Structure 1
Amino acid sequence: MSDAPRPERPTIEQIREVCQPDSIRKRKNAEHWTGDVFTRSISPYLTRTFVHAGISANGVTVGMILCGWAAAAAFFIPGIAGPILAAVLAMLQMLLDASDGEVARWTRKMGPRGIFLDRFAHTTTESLIPIAIGLRLTIESSDNNWAWAFVGAVLGVLVLVNKSLNEASRMSRVESGLDLPKKTDGTSAPRVGWVATARRAANFVPIHRAYHSVEQTLVVLAIAIVGLAAGFNGVAVALILLAVAAPLVIAGHMVAILTSSMLRNPHT
């Protein structure tokens, strides 16, 4: 059906056939875990609604950007309600993230602008969340302790640094005249034995994945709930834990890239 004219009012089965091929559903590194849990099950219904309404894929992505920013802003709501709403909005962002690609595939309107907007959505959301948490803690402190805002800002920068490593490695290949690797060709896998072992071990406690928007909000929410029951400020504890772990994650990420074939010139 990929080459046939698209019906104006597609069925859910047609949406799934065209917009959720195996190349999308079986991506090991690019497909977020929420895809298997719920987004890919729900997104075709949302995608069909957008197609019926004539909303473009980029329009959906703009909604995704706003949803992510709202997730960060939700932390300004006092008490446990803020983290709960932030987690819900972060999940909704991932649902829109699934749907915008499906709209693009259905309408055959895929291009670099959509990819740019998608990456802007994730980058800004993931860095704004810790900044918002830090500001929340400053506002809540009796003496307006700006140390919390500083920690949140530093963590926001560290999140950006960690994300920039992937972009820098990809751009380094492009500017060197090399093709971008495929997700499944093993180019990004470490070639040094102990690094590969450490990377596999990290999958059992995937702290390196804790800085995506969904994971950040879920970590904060979980510790906030524990804190509510135990009588401590779980949001503050979560911010400290994420900030302490971030430099270690960045160091590991850097070593993994430098010991992989990502930056290796095959002609030398």
Structure 2
Amino acid sequence: MSAPSVAELRRVAQPAGHLERRNGEHWAGVLYMRRLSIYVTWLMTKTPVTPNQLTWIMTVAGILAGVVLALPGLWAAVVAALLIQVYLLLDCSDGELARWTGKTSLTGVYLDRVGAYFAEAAVLAGLGWRASEVLPDWHTVLGFAGALGAILIKAETDLVDVARAKGGLTAATEASVGQFRSGLLGLGRRILGATKFHRIVQPIELSLLALATAVIDLALGDLTATRVLLYACVVAACLQVVLHLVSILASRRLA
């Protein structure tokens, strides 16, 4: 079977409306990565590589980004940011390849979620390690605390579908996410959502912020900027764990 053209591949792998999903597409994917990922997917159609294998490589890239970020120096922050871009590229491409080959599966969905858990935790832990002068110190602990918070936030979301499945219900709809039993709580969620403060602990944004603080640290000759970023991440993670749980319980996702 001959390889598809990029246009043929795009019609199947990036169907109309796919990039407009409310909660399913990262801004960086819409802005630039989907323009690149389709070419990587096209190359993958010429190989025996499977979508799940791409997902495994994606996960390794995310973990490596955290390991590299833990190292001192500006170069480490640069490489970590590049590795996260590879992570995002493969996160786009594995799903595209799955749609083209018809190899979409629950295993693929599961591995994709595992990869996201590992990447977020690794980058936050790496940031804490990077902020430490003596290993381990309280900055190391804060890094792992932020990583735990990021995992708990994702777990709170995923456990909604677990609870619904155990109750014999289908997965929650996107519409139910914005439906609240209290109008005041709904307004509060929209206001907090507009600030986008939750994105600070996500790998793509955090890797870029860590690169920016590494440049500032180089100019200042200390770790002040990296530590301020770490503190902000821990505060954001702790707030999100609580607020996200309240948001879920107050919404109609469990109804």
Q: TM-score range by the shorter chain?
A: over 0.9
Is 1:258 aligned to 2:249, yes or no? yes
Is 1:204 aligned to 2:198, yes or no? no
Matching residue within 208, 222, 232 for 1:241: 232
Is 1:217 aligned to 2:211, yes or no? no
Change (3 A) 1:226 1:49: same
What's 2:80 paired with? 86
Q: Distance in 1 between matches of 2:50 and 2:86?
A: 18
Give unmatched runs, 5+ long, in structure 1: 1-6
What's 1:168 paired with? 159
Q: Distance in 1 between matches of 2:44 and 2:139?
A: 41
Q: Distance in 2 between matches of 1:23 and 1:165?
A: 27
What's 1:14 paired with? 8
Q: Distance in 1 between matches of 2:2 and 2:52?
A: 19
Tell me if the contact between 2:124 and 2:201 (Cα under 8 Å) persists in the aligned partners. Answer: no
Tell me if the contact between 1:207 and 1:249 (Cα under 8 Å) persists in the aligned partners. Answer: no
Which 4+ stretches in 1 moved above 4 angstroms?
Answer: none
- 1:1-268 aligned within 5 A: 8-138=2-132, 141=133, 143-183=134-174, 186-191=175-180, 192-230=182-220, 232-233=222-223, 234-264=225-255
Note the C-alpha offset of 1:62: 1.1
SS at match of 2:107: helix
Tell me if the contact between 1:221 and 1:235 (Cα under 8 Å) persists in the aligned partners. Answer: no
Amino acid at match of 1:34: A
Q: Distance in 2 between matches of 1:101 and 1:47?
A: 9
Change (3 A) 1:228 1:196: farther
Higher helix residue share: 2
Q: Distance in 2 between matches of 1:104 and 1:110?
A: 5
Change (3 A) 1:197 1:226: farther
SS at match of 2:194: coil
Note the C-alpha offset of 1:232: 4.6
**Cα displacement string for residues 234-260 of structure 1 (whole angstroms, at most 9, x for unaligned residues):** 222211111122211222111111111
Tell me if the contact between 2:41 and 2:93 (Cα under 8 Å) persists in the aligned partners. Answer: yes
Superposition RMSD in Å = 1.6
Tell me if the contact between 2:81 and 2:211 (Cα under 8 Å) persists in the aligned partners. Answer: yes
TM-score (ref. length: structure 2): 0.93
Change (3 A) 1:181 1:144: closer
Count of equivalent residues:
253
Amino acid at match of 1:254: L
SS at match of 2:63: helix
What's 1:3 paired with? none
Q: Distance in 1 between matches of 2:179 and 2:173?
A: 15
Q: Distance in 2 between matches of 1:169 and 1:145?
A: 36
**Cα displacement string for residues 127-148 of structure 1 (whole angstroms, at most 9, x for unaligned residues):** 111212222333xx1x445212
